[in-house]
Amino acid sequence: MIGLVAVLKVKPGMEEKVAEATVMMAEAVRKEEKECLLYDPFVAADNPSELYILEKYTRPEALDEHRKLPHYLAFREAIKDAVTGPPQVTMLKALE
């Protein structure tokens, strides 16, 4: 099992665009990626320009596959001009 937190830093005025794209991405992941056990987006309560995505996969290879899928590539393309850079990703290991 593998988990991660991805943080998107959104440019001012682009928060709604990125939030909508992120929700659509989450729906696609939940529908199409059976080895993704969790894909939940959040916005920071005190900063609407920071989005957090909590992800959990059955195995590391499922994460690698996730990053090659059409909906992931389309998401990255859709938000590329609305974020300050690539997502900041923190990889997590389960304690169980």
- Tell whether the model's pLDDT for residue 96 goes beyond 80: no
User: In sequence order, which residues have a C-beta less than 8 Å from that of residue 81 and are 6 or more positions away?
Assistant: none
The whole domain housing 42 covers 2-92
CA 81, CA 96: separation in Å to the nearest integer? 39
pLDDT at 43: 97
Long-range contacts of 39-46 (CB under 8 A, 24+ apart): 43/15, 43/19
The mean-pLDDT minimum among 1-5, 55-59, 82-86, 92-96 falls in: 92-96
pLDDT at 94: 87
Q: What is the CATH number of the domain that holds 20?
A: 3.30.70.100
**Over the stretch 35-87, which tens digit does the pLDDT of each residue have?**
999 999 999 999 999 999 999 999 999 999 999 999 999 999 999 999 999 99
Q: How many domains does the chain have?
A: 1
In terms of Cα–Cα distance, which of 21, 27, 33, 24 is closest to 69? 33
